[in-house]
Amino acid sequence: MHYFIYKDAELYCEDVPIKEIADQIRTPFYLYSHATLVRHFNAFDSAFDGIKHLTCFSVKSNSNIAILRLFARLGAGADIVSGGELYRAVKAGIDPAKIVYSGVGKREDEMEYALKSDILMFNVESHQELLVLNKVAERLNKTAKISIRVNPDIDPKTHPYISTGMKENKFGISIEDAVEEYKFAHRLNNIEIIGISCHIGSQLLDVKPFVDSLKRLLILKGKLKEAGISIRYLDIGGGLGIKYSDEQPPHPIEYAEAIKKEIKENDITLILEPGRVIVGNAGILVTRLLYKKEQGQKKFFIVDAGMNDLIRPSLYGSYHEICPIRKRNTPLVEVDIVGPICESGDFFARKRKIQDIEAGDLIAIMSAGAYGFVMSSNYNSRPRPCEVIVKGKEFFVIRERETYEDLIRGESIPAFLI
């Protein structure tokens, strides 16, 4: 359920007609609904009421500081994977004591920054990383609180690019080797073990893989206890899927109930790292039809957003619903909806049946709130779009559209060419 709704054939975001925003700020732009963000966060977080838990919003899914601030106000922590994400989270007002840091390739300077910020926990992903973290912490005279990210070898049955918890993936330490690694970590002077973490993949449509991996984590927790290592935090990552088309993802309540059933101990705090389930359906990409074109049997709708603005269809073949901002009483046409980028992979939909529209009309690419703007680029020297949030009857630009000057910021012509 979200707040992008038609009123008299006109698509609104909450109480604002989207056309009005487009007329004022040009296209393309990302548009988020405040009410949807709040509702999704609260629905997810409150589903875990009854057990000690911390919802660490996954910053990689949407890192705009206005959105992070909103979640900070709702009590969220953050799941980060880089120094840049730490910077954003802290700037936005997220309490560092609620920040967990995952990622297979943390650099020393990033570790240092996180240690100085006193984050809650590093999710360590390799033996070598553990050694480096211990060394950096020693240098700073600090103790790094850690979990080891284990790879539970569970098939999440999702797109191979976003599956992360199987043996062949680069993430985590295999669960069989975890006890030894924990024992090793336990002996390091500047490391304090506080948790176990995992993340098995994204856009999961079934609760079973989550429950299976949690069971493995709990077995590991038991083995660690026997070894004299106590665990206070269980971080089960993110990954709950959303509806893009006709998927039927579990409701957060169903997900939470299945997880809660497994957690009988009251000595642990559960950490969750949701991204997509909170922001995915709270945002859309608004674009304008530039040209219609027929090539043989094929019809193309060429719009003013491109794969540089939203890469998911090109990269994963992802489906995004596409809706006209103003519904017309026109017949359905089968079209490829493509962008202006010089690549055949620059498409938002192929062989899609949509209502016929005319050049100048606006369309919405739905479910673009997660992994949308954050994955955008300047390819073809296209300034990145702006981001807007609607709250009730008002809208606010939360990131300006880039300018041509922005495109060359930091570039310079060396002396030998002057």
In the beta sheet, which residues pair with residue 31? Answer: 284, 388
* DSSP labels, 298-317: EEEEEES--TTT--HHHHH-
Return the C-alpha torsion angle 224, 229, 231, 232, nearest 10.
Answer: 160
Is residue 249 at the binding interface for ligand LLP, with CB under 6 A as the rule? no
Binding track over 207-246 against ligand LLP, x by CB under 6 A: ------------------------------xxxx------
Q: Given 56, 323, 342, 386, which residue is catalytic? A: 342
Is residue 61 at the binding interface for ligand LLP, with CB under 6 A as the rule? yes
Q: Which of 77, 252, 274, 369 binds ligand LLP (CB under 6 A)?
A: 274
Q: Which of 162, 205, 211, 398 binds ligand LLP (CB under 6 A)?
A: 162
Q: How many residues in the chain? A: 418
Q: Which among 14-22, 28-36, 54-62, 174-182 is the span making contact with ligand LLP, rule CB under 6 A? A: 54-62
Provide the minimum distance between the beta carbon of 327 and ligand LLP in the complex, in angstroms, as a whole number. 28
Q: Which of 195, 209, 252, 275 binds ligand LLP (CB under 6 A)?
A: 275
Which residue is listed with tokens 């169903």?
Answer: 254
Of residues 288-317, which lie at the interface with ligand LLP (CB under 6 A)?
Answer: 312
Number of residues counted as binding ligand LLP (CB under 6 A): 21
Is residue 79 at the binding interface for ligand LLP, with CB under 6 A as the rule? yes
In the beta sheet, which residues pair with residue 150? Answer: 173
Return the C-alpha torsion angle 336, 370, 42, 396, nearest 10.
Answer: -90
**Of 35, 51, 32, 37, residue with least CA distance to 272:** 51
* Distances from the Cα of 175 to the Cα of 149, 220, 223, 343, angstroms: 9, 8, 12, 42
342 catalytically annotated: yes
Is residue 320 at the binding interface for ligand LLP, with CB under 6 A as the rule? no
Give whichever of 285 and 289 is closer to ligand LLP, judged by the CB atom: 285
Question: Which residues 6+ apart lie within 8 Å of 224 measured at CB?
Answer: 179, 182, 196, 230, 231
Is residue 252 at the binding interface for ligand LLP, with CB under 6 A as the rule? no
Give whichever of 27 and 102 is closer to ligand LLP, judged by the CB atom: 102
Provide the minimum distance between the beta carbon of 215 and ligand LLP in the complex, in angstroms, as a whole number. 19
Give whichever of 58 and 64 is closer to ligand LLP, judged by the CB atom: 58
**Of 124, 74, 122, residue with least CA distance to 96:** 122
Provide the minimum distance between the beta carbon of 78 and ligand LLP in the complex, in angstroms, as a whole number. 10
Binding track over 84-123 against ligand LLP, x by CB under 6 A: ------------------x---------------------
In the beta sheet, which residues pair with residue 389? Answer: 32, 396
Is residue 398 at the binding interface for ligand LLP, with CB under 6 A as the rule? no
Burial class of residue 29 (count of CB atoms within 10 Å of its CB; 0-12, 13-18, 19+): buried
Q: Long-range contacts of range 111-120, CB-CB < 8 Å, 24 or more positions apart?
A: 111/136, 111/137, 111/144, 112/136, 112/139, 112/140, 113/83, 113/86, 113/87, 114/83, 114/86, 115/140, 115/142, 115/144, 116/140, 116/142, 117/86, 117/90, 119/86, 120/54, 120/77, 120/96, 120/145, 120/233
| Spatial separation of the C-alpha atoms in residues 305 and 353, rounded to whole Å | 19
Is residue 58 at the binding interface for ligand LLP, with CB under 6 A as the rule? yes
Q: Which among 65-73, 87-95, 268-276, 383-391 is the span making contact with ligand LLP, rule CB under 6 A? A: 268-276
Give whichever of 167 and 223 is closer to ligand LLP, judged by the CB atom: 167
Give whichever of 3 and 44 is closer to ligand LLP, judged by the CB atom: 44
The residues that are catalytic are 342
Which residue ranges make up the site for ligand LLP (CB under 6 A)?
58, 60-61, 79, 102, 162, 199, 202-203, 237-240, 273-277, 312, 370-371
